[in-house]
Structure 1
Amino acid sequence: MRSFLLAIVFFFACISAKAQLTPFELSKDKNYTATYAEVISYYQKVNKLYPQQMKMINYGTTDVGKPLTLIVLSKNGVFDPGLIKKQDKRVLLINNGIHPGEPEGIDASMMLVRDLLKKNQLPKDVVICLIALYNIDGNLNRGQSRVSQNGPAAYGFRGNYRNLDLNRDFIKADSRNALAFTQILTTWKPEVFLDNHTSDGADYQYVMTLIETQKDKQNSILADYTSKTLTPYLYSHMKKSGYEMIPYGAGEEGLPDSGIVSFLETPRFATGFTAQHNIISYITETHMLKPFDKRVYATYDFMQHLIDINQRDAKLIGDLKKKADAAVISQKTFPLKWEVDMKAVDTITFKGYEAGYKTSDVSGLKRLYYDRSKPYTKVIKFYNTYKTTVTADKPLAYVIPQAWGKVIDLFKLNGVKMQQLAHDTTLNLQMYYFGDIKTPTRPFEGHYLHSSVQLNPVDMAMKFYVGDYVVYTNQAINRYIVETLEPQGVDSFFAWNFFDSMLGEKEYFSDYVFEDKAADLLKKDAALKQKLDDAKAKDPQLGNSAQAQLFFVYKNSPYFEKTYMRYPVGRILNDTKLDLK
C-alpha cells in the first residue's frame, strides 16, 4: 500500500513538474518560441503557484488592443513602487519581444521567473520587473519573415499593427505601446534596464554580443561605474558560463576584421530613451545563426548575472543614481549630437571565421561567405569613443504654448514637472527662427526626419496665454527636456516633425495690389532699397524676376507674418517673476 501511495505522489509530482515547463522546453529540439497566448497563460499558472512573490500588472493598451503585461517579482511581497523606493530597494526592468522575430528574451524570461520562484532565489534588495512581450502586435503576426535566421520554427514580425519599428518609437511615441512603456518606466523608476534582442551581420564564434549605453553619451557618474565595474563583471561571468561576449557591431560596417564601432543609441531606441532618465541600460544581441536553444540559454544566463550584480551592488547603484540625478539638475550644457572619433582607437580580441568569396549559384558573380572550418582569433580595432558635435546651454525655463498638446502629454507622462501661466503674459525671452533645414524625400518610421537644423536666436517680447506651460530646467529629467525641446537634437521633437506647421506661410499678397505698396516702401525705406539692390547684385535670377523682387520686399516689410519659421517654444534666460497657477 505504501509503495502504491509513493507511486501516486511521484506521478503527480511529475505532472506538476511538466506543467511548469515552458513551451520552449517542451518543444522538439527546443526550436520553438511561445505565442502571446502561451506566454500569458504560462505566467498566470506560475502566478497561481507563487502569489506572494509574483504579480501580473496590465498597463495601457497596445496598438492591437491588448494591454502590456508586466511581471513583478518581489522577495518580500511588496508590490507598491513607492514603498519599494522607501525601502531603498533597486528596480531592474527587463523588456522582451520588442522585435518578435528576436524572441529569445521571451522564452528565457519565462524560465527565469519560474526558477527564481521555485528555487527561492529572488534577490532581497532588487525587485525584478519583466515586460512579458512588448510588441504583442508583431507577435500575433506569426511566420518566418527573418529569412536569414537559424530558428525558431516560427516567430513574430518586426513591425507592429501600425507597421512601426517599436525600437525607433520611444522618443516620438507614435504607438500606444510606447505610451504604456513610459507609464511603466515612470511608475517603477528602475535604476537598471535591459532590452533583449537578436543581431544579424557577419558570422563569428560568439553566441551573444552586447550594447551598453555609450560611455561618452551616458551620464559620467554612471559611465564610470558601468565601464569599470558592471560591464566587466558581465563579460567575465558570461565567459565563465560558456557564452563569451564581445561588443555589438562586428561586420556592421564591412568585414569584422575592419574593426567594431560601438553602437550609439539615440533616444529613438529603448536604451537611448532610458538613458535620458539616468538609467543604466543594456541590450543583448544573440547571433541569428547560432542554434535557437543556445541563444535562449545565453539570454537566461545574462539576465541571471545582471540580477546577481544588481543585488551585490544594490546600495552603490542606488547612490550613483541619486548622484547622477543631482548632477543633471545642475548641469548647464547638454550634448545634442555625437559622432564616432575615428582617431581614438582601442583594440579587442576577436574570434571569427575566415571570410572568402566564391561564385554565386544565383548570379554567377562573386559572393561573400564565412568558412566555419577556419576559425581564427586576432586583435582588431575597436572604436569606442564619441565626440560631441552639437550642444545647447539650457535656459532657466522653457515656455511651451498649450496648443502643442502631444508635447505636453509626453512631458506629463515622462514625469516632467510643469506649471501653467495664471494670466495672459508678455515675456522677454529668446525665440528661435529656423534657417536651413535638411529633410529627406522619403519617410522614416512615418516621419520626414529633419537634420542639420540651423537656428537664429532672437531676444524678443512674446505674448503667451493663460494655461501655457512653463518648464523649469532644475529637474533630474533635464536631459529629456533639453534633448526634446532643442531643435538641433538628433531626436528632438522638431526633428520628428512635431512642429512642422510652423514651417508654412499662412498669408500672402496680391501682386497687382502690392506693387504700389512695395514701391512706397522702397521710397520711404532707403535701407530696404539698398538691401534689395545688394540681393539683386548677388543673385541675377532675383534681378530678372518681378515676382521674386515683390516677395523680397514683402518678406522684409512689416506686413510679413512674424510666426513664419519661428519655433513656438520660448527660452527664458534670465530670472523672471511669473504669475503661475
Structure 2
Amino acid sequence: MTKLSILAFILLLSAVSNAQQLITPFERDSNQTATYEQIIRWYRQLDQQYDQAKLIEIGKTDIGKPLHLFLLAADKQFASRPGRVTLLINNGIHPGEPEGIDACMMLARNLLKANKLPQNVLVAIVPVYNVGGCLNRGVSRVNQNGPESYGFRGNARNLNLNRDFIKAEAENTRAFQSMFQWLKPQVFIDNHTSDGADYQHVLTYFATQKDKLHPLVSGYMVQSFQPALDKQLTAKGFPSAPYVNHAGDTPESGLIGYNDSPRYSTGYAALFNCFGFTLETHMWKPFPARVKASYVFDEEVMWLCDREAKTILTNRQRADEAVRQQKTFPLSYKLDRSKTDSVTFLGYAAAYKPSEVSGLKRLYYDRTKPFMKRVPYWNTFAVEAQVDKPRTYVISQGWTEIVGELKRNGVTLTPLAKDTLIKVAAYYITDFRTPQRPYEGHYPHSGVNVRTDTQTIQFYKGDFLVPTTQVANRYIVETLEPQGVDSFFAWNFFDSILDQKEYFSNYIFEDTAADLLKQNPILRKQLDEKRAIDKAFAENANAQLEFIYKQTPYYEKTHNRYPVYRIN
C-alpha cells in the first residue's frame, strides 16, 4: 500500500466525516488514536443521531467503568433474530493495539451516513474491551510505529484479557460472556496488532483452528469464506498471510497454525460453533496503513456475512444440533507435522550481522530485498486426548463459582428436588504437572491423569445435574473434564481437593498398622512387594505407614477426588 493511497483514504474519510461534523482523532491527526472518553462520546453521538444505531452498557469492568456494546441494524431490531447473521467485532482487548478501535469508529459512521447497512447482518461492535488498559496510556510497545500514545496490554488487575475466557476472573470477561450468550454470534472478529519478524504484509490473521470447529462450520469457513475474504483483501490492496508464527528463525522456515485453546477469544467462540478471525496488522507498518487494513478487513467480513447469511445460518443450526447428539469430545490437540500445505508469503531477505550492542550475531531483515515465495504451512492439529461424554454431570451447590460460570455461559442446570443417593463414576486425580512461576495469576495444571471409581454418593437438595444434550456441550465437557487443556481443574478452581485434611500420628499409628498387617495378609503382601521394588520406599518408615494408612477406612475418600461426577 503506497503512501499516496493511504493519504487518499484518510482524505476520503475526512470528507465523509466533515459532512456530518463527526471527525475521529485519527482523522484529525493520523498519529493519534482515540481515548476512552472520545470513543464512548463518539458512539453516543451516533446513537443519538441514527435510529439504526444503539449504544448499550452490557456490564462492569475491573476499572469500575461500564463495558459498552454498539449495535447496527438496518431494520432497527437490536437483538439476534432468525434469518440474520450476528457479526461480533471486538476492539481493544490489548489497547496498545488500537487500529480496530479507530477503524470501527469510522466504519460505523460511514455505514450510517451512507445509509448502507447490511440487510442480513446485525453488526455488534465492542468499542473498547479492556477499559482499564485503555485508560493506562503510554508508549509500552517499544518497536511500534505509531500512534503517539496508546493503552496498555494488562487490564486494571494486570490481567491479559485474551487469556481469561475460561477462568473469567475479570469483570470484563464476565460481561463479555453474558453478552456473547445473548447475541449468539455466528461470526467473530478480534482486532489485534502483531510484532515479530519483518515482512511486506500489512495484514495477517488466523482463523479459528479448523480442526476444532464442527466440520459443517469448519469446512465452509476454510473452503468458501476464507478464499472469498482473501480475494477481496487482495483486491483492496491488502494481500494477507496467516499469522506469522514461524517454525524456525525466519518466516521462510514455514508458518505454524495457531492452537487457540478456549482461554483465547476465538477458542472460546469456537466452543459455541462460532467461527472467528484474529486480525493481526503489523506494528512496524505506519499506523495509517494499519488502520486502513483493519477497516478493510472488518468491512469485507461484514459484507461476506451479508452475502452468505443463509449458508452461515444453516451450517450453524446443523452444527448446534449435531453437538447436542455428539458422544465423543476432544480435550487437547497437537500439531500434525506430517500434514504440510504451503502459502504465498511476501517477505524480506533475512541475514545476520554483528550486534552493535553485544558484538554477537544478530538477525535483521533487508527491506531492499523483498521476495514472494511459497513457504510451508502446518495447520493441521490432531486430537491428543478425548473423552466420551456422560449422560449427566453432577456438581455440588457448594461450588458456587463453577455453578455461576456454567449458568453465565448458557448451560442448563437442574437442581435436585430432594436429598438423593446417586451412583456415579468418580475421578481421582493421580498425577499432574504445575509450573514454578504463575501465569495470569494462576499455576495451571497440565499432564493430568485420572483413575475412575464407581461410588454411591450422597447428594443434597439444591445440588445440580448438568445434562449433556445441550448446544453448550463443548463448553460443558471441555471445562468440566479435568484433563481438558483449559478445564476448570487446569485453572486451579478445584485445588482444595488436593489437600489432605486428616493425618495420622506416627508413634500411635505404628501399633494400629502392625495390627492391620496381621489381620490383612493381602495388605502385607502389597507392602512387601513395594519394598522389594522401591529401595527408597523400603528405607522410609513414614512412607510405609502412609502406604498402609491409605488402604484403611481412616483415609478420607475425598482426597484427590474430583468433585464433578459422571452419570454414564
Question: 2:42: which partner in 1?
Answer: 42
Question: 1:330: which partner in 2?
Answer: 325
Matches within 5 A, 1:297-308: 297-308=292-303
Task: Kindly provide the amino acid, as one letter, of the partner of residue 332 in structure 2.
Answer: K
The answer to whether the 8 A contact 2:246-2:256 is kept is no
Matches within 5 A, 1:107-146: 107-146=102-141
CA displacement at 1:15 relative to structure 2: 9.4
Say yes or no: does 1:387 pair with 2:388. no
Task: Kindly provide the amino acid, as one letter, of the partner of residue 153 in structure 1.
Answer: E
Question: 2:255: which partner in 1?
Answer: 260
> How far apart are the structure 1 equivalents of 2:247 and 2:540?
50
Q: 2:219 aligns with which of 208, 224, 230?
A: 224
Count of equivalent residues: 554
Say yes or no: does 1:85 pair with 2:81. yes
> How far apart are the structure 2 equivalents of 1:209 and 1:14?
28
> How far apart are the structure 2 equivalents of 1:521 and 1:26?
84
Q: Provide, for residues 471-507 of structure 1, a one-character-per-residue CA deviation record: whole Å limited to 9, x for no partner.
A: 0000011000000001111000000001000111000
3-state DSSP of counterpart to 2:321: helix
Question: 2:63: which partner in 1?
Answer: 64
The answer to whether the 8 A contact 1:199-1:288 is kept is yes
Say yes or no: does 1:397 pair with 2:392. yes
Matches within 5 A, 1:282-297: 282-297=277-292
Matches within 5 A, 1:482-501: 482-501=477-496
CA displacement at 1:310 relative to structure 2: 0.7
Q: Provide, for residues 10-40 of structure 1, a one-character-per-residue CA deviation record: whole Å limited to 9, x for no partner.
A: xxx999537311111111xx11111101101
3-state DSSP of counterpart to 2:276: strand
> How far apart are the structure 2 equivalents of 1:99 and 1:250?
19
The answer to whether the 8 A contact 2:245-2:258 is kept is no
CA displacement at 1:49 relative to structure 2: 1.8
> How far apart are the structure 1 equivalents of 2:137 and 2:127?
17
The answer to whether the 8 A contact 2:209-2:260 is kept is yes
Question: 1:53: which partner in 2?
Answer: 52
Question: 1:187: which partner in 2?
Answer: 182
> How far apart are the structure 2 equivalents of 1:260 and 1:542?
48
The answer to whether the 8 A contact 1:104-1:295 is kept is yes
Say yes or no: does 1:460 pair with 2:446. no
Task: Kindly provide the amino acid, as one letter, of the partner of residue 85 in structure 1.
Answer: R
Question: 1:578: which partner in 2?
Answer: none
Identify which range, 328-337 or 361-370, moves more after superposition: 361-370
Q: Provide, for residues 202-244 of structure 1, a one-character-per-residue CA deviation record: whole Å limited to 9, x for no partner.
A: 1011001011011111111101100111111111100000000
The answer to whether the 8 A contact 1:134-1:177 is kept is yes
Say yes or no: does 1:272 pair with 2:283. no
Runs of 4+ in 1 over 3 A off after TM superposition: 13-16, 250-253
3-state DSSP of counterpart to 2:433: coil
Change (3 A) 1:78 1:63: same
Question: 1:509: which partner in 2?
Answer: 504
Question: 2:425: which partner in 1?
Answer: 430
Task: Kindly provide the amino acid, as one letter, of the partner of residue 319 in structure 2.
Answer: A
CA displacement at 1:548 relative to structure 2: 1.6
> How far apart are the structure 1 equivalents of 2:218 and 2:522?
55
Identify which range, 321-330 or 542-551, moves more after superposition: 542-551
The answer to whether the 8 A contact 1:249-1:263 is kept is no
Question: 1:19: which partner in 2?
Answer: 21
> How far apart are the structure 1 equivalents of 2:208 and 2:214?
9
**What's the Cα RMSD here?**
1.3
Question: 2:6: which partner in 1?
Answer: none
> How far apart are the structure 2 equivalents of 1:394 and 1:348?
37
Question: 2:4: which partner in 1?
Answer: none
Say yes or no: does 1:76 pair with 2:90. no
3-state DSSP of counterpart to 2:556: coil
The answer to whether the 8 A contact 1:250-1:260 is kept is yes
Change (3 A) 1:252 1:67: farther
Question: 1:4: which partner in 2?
Answer: none
Q: Provide, for residues 264-302 of structure 1, a one-character-per-residue CA deviation record: whole Å limited to 9, x for no partner.
A: 100000000010011111111001111111110011011
Task: Kindly provide the amino acid, as one letter, of the partner of residue 234 in structure 1.
Answer: L
TM-score (norm 2): 0.96
Question: 2:191: which partner in 1?
Answer: 196
Question: 2:209: which partner in 1?
Answer: 214
Q: Provide, for residues 287-340 of structure 1, a one-character-per-residue CA deviation record: whole Å limited to 9, x for no partner.
A: 111111111001101111111111111111111110010010000000110011
CA displacement at 1:85 relative to structure 2: 1.4
Question: 2:315: which partner in 1?
Answer: 320
Percent identity of paired positions between Structure 1 and Structure 2: 50
Task: Kindly provide the amino acid, as one letter, of the partner of residue 26 in structure 2.
Answer: F
> How far apart are the structure 1 equivalents of 2:243 and 2:567?
42
3-state DSSP of counterpart to 1:179: helix
> How far apart are the structure 2 equivalents of 1:76 and 1:160?
36
Identify which range, 38-47 or 173-182, moves more after superposition: 38-47
Say yes or no: does 1:481 pair with 2:483. no
Q: Provide, for residues 62-107 of structure 1, a one-character-per-residue CA deviation record: whole Å limited to 9, x for no partner.
A: 000011110000111112x2xx414x22111100000001111000
Change (3 A) 1:105 1:253: farther
The answer to whether the 8 A contact 1:142-1:154 is kept is yes
Identify which range, 541-550 or 427-436, moves more after superposition: 541-550
Question: 2:528: which partner in 1?
Answer: 533
Q: 2:230 aligns with which of 232, 235, 245?
A: 235
Q: Provide, for residues 382-436 of structure 1, a one-character-per-residue CA deviation record: whole Å limited to 9, x for no partner.
A: 1011100000100000001111111100111011011011111111110101111
TM-score (norm 1): 0.94
> How far apart are the structure 1 equivalents of 2:286 and 2:119?
34
Task: Kindly provide the amino acid, as one letter, of the partner of residue 556 in structure 2.
Answer: E
> How far apart are the structure 1 equivalents of 2:514 and 2:164?
51
Change (3 A) 1:545 1:250: closer
> How far apart are the structure 2 equivalents of 1:159 and 1:14?
35
Change (3 A) 1:201 1:253: farther
Identify which range, 62-71 or 13-22, moves more after superposition: 13-22
Say yes or no: does 1:419 pair with 2:414. yes
> How far apart are the structure 1 equivalents of 2:218 and 2:125?
24
Task: Kindly provide the amino acid, as one letter, of the partner of residue 22 in structure 1.
Answer: T
Question: 1:353: which partner in 2?
Answer: 348
Say yes or no: does 1:106 pair with 2:90. no
Long gaps (5+) in structure 1: 1-12, 574-581
Task: Kindly provide the amino acid, as one letter, of the partner of residue 23 in structure 1.
Answer: P
Question: 2:142: which partner in 1?
Answer: 147
Long gaps (5+) in structure 2: 1-14
